[in-house]
Structure 1
């Protein structure tokens, strides 16, 4: 009887705590194709397998319910291994990683041609693309849900078009009131 009681407590605990929210990750090709039917911006997580801050971004930020809900509603989300071996066709050109070494799959490897196309040199970097898959900005580094919220809303609402100087953005960022929870 005692074991049944503890089992029920565990089951009830798991059902009330809830499951981490998931972002609907798709490929870049899928995102560009979907943009033609339903225009949305693209948020592309450029990560590597060995990157600690990339793993923190996955665990602490991308699984946040507010982040996942917002991204799923307003963006096409792409997760791309910037040192992986994927073949990607983007804007009529095929990108590969000719220097990829399978023995280094979870270590530092050769940079993918697509990462070079976007001038990515640090991980994680979140690349934002407009509704026509043109580069808006690469945002470098780990971000909490509230830090990411700033960029998601800036690009979603086209606020970035109002920033003429770095000071304009800094003033906006200081006045920004995040709504996402931890």
Structure 2
């Protein structure tokens, strides 16, 4: 009986643990695309960015976001001021001006610069071949992020060729995520 109670308690703990997005590096995602094509969802953050930390805590731990991202995308976590080497489109991007002794803001990684990242957090989408689709700048709640996740996954973004088309799409969108 004691073993059964222990087993039930253990299973309950497993089922209540927060799911996590299965983050990888950009290099890993590009390699995974060769075996199984999927779009890439990239979180571009910095260590000093308050909204980036809020996005991690609130949005990226939301069960609906976690499930949708893990199912439909390769998820990449990228520090825009870090030192990771990124091999993209026959070029190796680095951050040679990074100062490891510097507190707070540091130099921007050349890959973040190539993606034209202008603010943090930014979420960047790539197609199944690793081609850039679009960045989305700023903190988003799960419901705010949902429209981008679904629109890009379903290729609806290809039909949105004007601001009016976007407004019509946005106004007709029905959210299923919880906040």
- Provide the TM-score with structure 1 as the length reference: 0.89
Alignment gaps of 5+ in structure 2: 1-8
CA 1:133–1:171 in structure 2 vs 1: closer, same or farther (change >3 Å)?
Answer: same
CA–CA distance in 1 between the matches of 2:147 and 2:124?
14
CA drift of 1:16 comes to 9.1
Which residue in 2 is equivalent to 1:44?
A: 42
Match of 2:88 in 1: 90
Match of 1:140 among 118, 137, 140: 137
What does residue 23 of structure 1 align with?
A: 21
SS at match of 1:103: coil
- Structure 1 gap ranges (5+): 1-10
Residue 36 (structure 1) shift: 1.2
Alpha-carbon distance in structure 1 between the residues aligned to 2:61 and 2:38: 21
1:115 aligns with 2:112: yes
Structure 1 counterpart SS, 2:101: helix
Q: TM-score, normalised by structure 2?
A: 0.90
2:75 alignment partner, SS class: strand
- Secondary structure of the equivalent of 1:56? helix
Query: Take 1:107 and 1:86, find their aligned partners in 2: how far apart are those partners?
Result: 18
> What's 1:7 paired with?
none
Partner of 1:33: 31
Q: Distance in 2 between matches of 1:98 and 1:30?
A: 22
Post-superposition CA distance 1:135-154 (Å, at most 9, x none): 10000000000111100000
Aligned-partner Cα distance in 2 for 1:136–1:166:
17
Partner of 2:170: 173
How many aligned residue pairs are there?
171
Alignment CA distance shift 1:113-1:177 (3 Å): same
